[in-house]
């Protein structure tokens, strides 16, 4: 649309109620000049774009016949052949816009909103008529203009960051690298220029659902869509990238919520690492976070280096808190260590085997189904849970995967012996008169032997290291008993054992054997 005739054609079409077809910022800018020249108000203009809504690379539409130029004797508006009579304000109208506003308009034109051309024309109309507050973010239109520019710049940044080029085999020819992206806004032209300056003479192509750009090393070619999804891409070297990505992943610095907010979910499906990130997040949540490094690196023994005694470092102190404990390997797969809970001078201490799934997540002993059954047994025995000290022989949850669940796995003897360090500290601090061992693992931990037999000690208090030891079933064992009669009998054994523990703590049981 060049010259006065072109300007009159666009203005006449708008004044006659015909929609203006615009497919690029350059076309919109030319049309805006024409409309402003003839003082066509924004609310009288209808703007449309091509089907698909926003591809700036699509081919231009076929030119339509221009309506006849109006004359002084043109028929009145409203008749079938009406053509409005328009008088231009200036023969060669010029938009007097500051560079900052032009840059904002050009960026906002890439924002995929249905009324973008109409909105941009309203902004320009207001500016040309002296309403310069339209550039302010405090203005309603100005605020929207700033938001559109921000959305486009954010999309450009995301496209720079989350495009992943796949290398094609040499026999496939050019382009050597191909990438697929699904942008929310029309930012492909700007992004293409960015990669032209970054990739040198290496040939590449970026495909989107609406358009594609191809760089042959010297010229940038703009085309329509050439691919339908990232499934068309295959890179044999991608496995090497995933290996590197896993090796640099630091679970100790993981913030899953921040990761998801920085990388929207729509990008993950097209990122190669998107297939392995959920697995690494799960591993971090299950204990790898505490290593501060990848699990494989943390288990390497390293190389022994001979040094003189004067250069040797002093022996490290024993861990002072459970969170620092590395005495066995269970900490690697547990969420956290679970210490004891209860009065520091309790007369009765209950020792279980290890924390379960819910205890591992909550960081407290006996809060899951087994804990609820234990609460019921304590109530039947007339014993207040708040007056006893609850702990476990092993402080970390040992489990094995079963589908999406973590199932309990009995600790090995070496793991029980490693955790005796913490149980001994609890015994020395609480100094209970009676210990109730819940199950065979707890009994072996309390007695410090691997040969104690549960059934031989049920109902028979044992004197050990100056205190009584009473043995009962573990609550989880009672939960697993399938037969109702056997379940009821096991529950009775637990209640009787707890009652016996109260009697012994009150000095009403059998007299201690003579030293």
In the predicted model, is pLDDT for residue 511 greater than 80? no
Please provide the distance, in angstroms rounded to a whole number, between the alpha carbons at the two ends of the chain: 113
Q: Grade residue 274 by pLDDT with cuts at 50, 70 and 90.
A: confident
pLDDT at 77: 27
Lowest mean pLDDT among 116-120, 164-168, 359-363, 479-483: 164-168
* pLDDT of residue 144 exceeding 60: yes
In which band, very low, low, confident or very high, does the pLDDT at 351 lie, cut at 50, 70 and 90?
A: very high
What is the rounded radius of gyration, in angstroms, for the C-alpha atoms of the chain? Answer: 39
Dihedral (C-alpha) 231, 235, 237, 241: value to the nearest 10 degrees?
-40
141 and 107 in contact (C-beta within 8 Å)?
Answer: no
Work out the average pLDDT over 473-480: 94
d(CA 60, CA 259): 41
Q: Give the span between the Cα atoms of 497 and 59, in whole angstroms.
A: 87
Q: What is the 3-state secondary structure (H, E, C) of 193-256?
A: HHHHHHHCCCCEEEECCCCEEEECCCCEEEECCCCCCHHHCCCCCHHHHHHHHHHHCCHHHCCH
Query: What torsion, rounded to 10 degrees, do the Cα atoms 403, 409, 415, 416 define?
Result: 150
Residue 145 scores a pLDDT above 90: yes
CA-to-CA distance for 477 and 305, rounded, in angstroms?
50
Least-confidence region, from 84-88, 157-161, 296-300: 84-88
Q: pLDDT at position 253, please?
A: 72
**Nearby residues of 109 by Cβ (< 8 Å), 6 or more positions away:** 25, 28, 116, 117, 120, 186
Distance CA 335, CA 5 (A): 76
Of 77-86, 318-327, 406-415, give the range with the top mean pLDDT: 406-415
Task: Name, of 222-236, 299-313, 488-502, the range with top average pLDDT.
Answer: 488-502
pLDDT at 59 (0 to 100): 35
Q: How far apart are the C-alpha atoms of 280 and 278, rounded to whole Å?
A: 6
Question: Are the C-beta atoms of residues 72 and 80 closer than 8 Å to each other?
Answer: no
Q: What is the DSSP letter of 330?
A: G
Q: CB count, 10 Å around CB of 311?
A: 7
Percent share of the chain, pLDDT over 90: 48
Helix (H) or strand (E) holding 191: helix 188-199
- CB-CB contact of 464 with 475 (8 Å): no
Span 233-266, pLDDT tens digits: 777 777 787 788 778 777 777 777 777 677 777 7
Contact criterion met (CB below 8 Å) for 392 and 355: yes
Percentage of the chain exceeding pLDDT 70? 79
pLDDT of residue 82: 36
- How confident is the model at residue 365, as a pLDDT? 95
Per the model's pLDDT, the better-predicted residue between 194 and 90 turns out to be 194
Residues in a beta bridge with 349:
389, 435
Q: State the angle between helix axes of 25-37 and 3-15 in degrees (0 to 180), rounded to the nearest 10.
A: 80
Domains of the chain: 3-156 (no CATH), 163-232 (no CATH), 238-294 (no CATH), 322-505 (3.40.470.10)
| CA atoms 348, 353, 356, 361: torsion sign | positive
Distance of CA 419 to the CA centre of its chain: 35
308-340 pLDDT, tens digit per residue, is 555 555 554 566 688 889 889 999 999 999 999
Beta bridge partners of 436: 350, 470
- Report the candidate in 344, 505, 354 with the shortest Cα–Cα distance to residue 419: 354
Q: What is the mean pLDDT of residues 435-464?
A: 88
The DSSP secondary structure of 351-403, one letter per residue, reads EES---HHHHHHTSSS-SHHHHHHHHHHHHTT--GGGSEEEESS-S--EEEET
Q: Helix, strand, or coil here: 462?
A: strand
| Bond from prior residue into 175 cis (ω within 30 degrees of 0) | yes
User: Hey, what are 327's tokens?
Assistant: 């005495």
For residue 512, what pLDDT is reported?
62
Alpha-carbon gap, residue 41 to 318, rounded angstroms: 81
Residue 463: strand, helix, or coil: strand
pLDDT of 300 reads 55
| Mean pLDDT lowest among 113-117, 285-289, 407-411, 469-473 | 285-289
Task: Please give the mean pLDDT across all residues of the chain.
Answer: 81
Tokens of 125: 């109309």
Q: What is the pLDDT of residue 232?
A: 65
**Cα 314 to Cα 300, 302, 307, 317, 322, distances in angstroms:** 22, 19, 13, 9, 22
Residue 464 three-state SS:
strand
Cα separation, 328 vs 319, in Å, equals 12
């Amino acid at each position: 649309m060049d010259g006065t005739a072109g300007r009159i054609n666009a203005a006449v079409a708008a004044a006659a109620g015909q929609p203006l077809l615009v497919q690029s910022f350059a076309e919109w800018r030319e049309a805006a000049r024409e409309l402003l020249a003839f003082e066509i108000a924004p609310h009288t203009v209808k703007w449309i774009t091509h089907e698909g809504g926003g591809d700036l690379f699509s081919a231009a539409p076929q030119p339509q016949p221009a309506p006849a130029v109006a004359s002084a004797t043109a028929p009145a508006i409203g008749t079938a052949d009406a053509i409005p009579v328009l008088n231009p304000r200036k023969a060669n109208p010029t938009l007097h816009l500051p560079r900052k506003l032009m840059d904002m308009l050009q960026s906002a034109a890439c924002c995929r909103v249905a009324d973008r051309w109409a909105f941009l024309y309203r902004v320009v109309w207001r500016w040309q008529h002296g309403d310069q507050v339209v550039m302010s973010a405090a203005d309603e239109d100005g605020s929207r203009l700033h938001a559109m520019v921000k959305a486009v710049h954010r999309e450009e940044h995301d496209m720079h960051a989350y495009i992943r080029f796949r290398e094609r085999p040499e026999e496939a020819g050019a382009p050597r690298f191909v990438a697929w992206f699904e942008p929310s806004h029309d930012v492909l032209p700007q992004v293409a220029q960015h990669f032209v300056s970054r990739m040198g003479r290496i040939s590449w192509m970026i495909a989107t659902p609406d358009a594609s750009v191809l760089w042959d090393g010297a010229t940038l070619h703009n085309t329509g869509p050439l691919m339908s999804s990232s499934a068309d891409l295959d890179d044999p070297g991608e496995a090497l990238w995933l290996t590197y990505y896993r090796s640099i992943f630091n679970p100790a610095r993981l913030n899953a919520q921040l990761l998801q907010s920085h990388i929207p979910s729509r990008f993950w499906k097209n990122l190669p690492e998107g297939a392995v990130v959920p697995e690494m997040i799960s591993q971090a949540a299950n204990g790898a976070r505490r290593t501060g490094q990848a699990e494989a690196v943390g288990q390497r023994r390293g190389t022994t280096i001979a040094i003189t005694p004067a250069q040797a470092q002093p022996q490290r102190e024993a861990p002072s808190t459970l969170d620092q404990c590395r005495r066995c390997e269970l900490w690697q797969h547990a969420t956290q260590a679970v210490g004891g809970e209860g009065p520091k001078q309790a007369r009765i201490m209950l020792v279980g085997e290890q924390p379960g799934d819910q205890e591992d997540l909550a960081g407290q002993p006996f809060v899951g189904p087994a804990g609820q059954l234990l609460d019921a047994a304590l109530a039947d025995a007339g014993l207040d849970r708040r007056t006893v000290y609850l702990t476990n022989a092993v402080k970390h949850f040992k489990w094995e995967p079963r589908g999406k669940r973590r199932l309990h796995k009995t600790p090995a003897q070496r793991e029980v012996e490693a955790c005796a360090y913490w149980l001994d500290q609890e015994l020395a601090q609480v100094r209970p008169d009676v210990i109730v061992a819940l199950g065979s693992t707890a009994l072996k931990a309390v007695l410090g032997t691997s040969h104690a037999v549960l059934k031989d000690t049920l109902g028979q208090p044992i004197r050990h290291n100056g205190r009584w030891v009473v043995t009962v079933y573990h609550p989880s064992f009672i939960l697993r008993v399938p037969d109702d009669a056997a379940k009821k009998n096991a529950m009775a054994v637990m209640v009787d054992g707890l009652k016996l523990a109260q009697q012994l703590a009150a000095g009403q049981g059998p007299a201690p054997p003579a030293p």
